[in-house]
Amino acid sequence: MKRIVLIVICLLTLAMLQTMVMPKYFPLGFVPDFLLLTVLLLGFWKPNASGFWLGSLLGAFQGWLHGFSWWAFALSRGFAAIFAGWMRVQWLWQSPIAAGFCAALGTAFAETFLALLLILSERSIVPIKLLLPIVAFEAPVNAFLAFALSWFKQPKEVLA
């Protein structure tokens, strides 16, 4: 029970950082997507069905914070966790470099899927116009953060 409470507190702290603190300090309004990074790393480190459910839950919460299309966020984040787990199982080894690569591709996958779902729901091409700047910022940042977190989690694999 303590572990669940700690996880919930950490996820809420990440959500607050992402929505309240980081927009003041990052240029052009782009902020790292910490909840998406959490889902991708969980899918990469432990490829199983729990990543989909956590991704769906965090995506719905993130959509609720944005105020629209919570279901699109839930689906894109859930399938991003499955995609990260699939990459890990199919052809990536578990190392910080692989985690960074997976985070970059997973971010591009999640944001592209989200844009396609928003195009269908809004019947507008505005989400596809925003896709390139968002992915151009979020993918490298998520890759760097995933690399750094994996480095501190398992530094022996990088040095070997």
* 79 — pLDDT class (breaks 50, 70, 90): very high
Using the 8-state DSSP alphabet, how is residue 93 labeled? Answer: -
What's the pTM? 0.83
Largest CA distance in the chain: 51
Q: What is the pLDDT of residues 138-157, one digit of tens each?
A: 899 999 999 998 888 775 54
Cα distance between residue 108 and residue 139, in whole Å: 6
Q: What is the pLDDT of residues 1-31, one digit of tens each?
A: 776 777 778 777 877 777 776 767 766 667 7
pLDDT for position 52 = 87
Q: Which amino acid, 28?
A: L
How much is the CA Rg of the chain, to the nearest whole Å?
A: 15
SS3 125: coil
Q: What number of helices (H) and strands (E) belong to the chain?
A: 8, 0
Phi/psi at 84 (nearest 5 deg)?
-65, -40
Least trusted range by pLDDT, from 17-21, 34-38, 119-123: 17-21
Query: In this structure, what token pair is assigned to residue 47?
Result: 């490829």
Cα distance between residue 91 and residue 89, in whole Å: 6
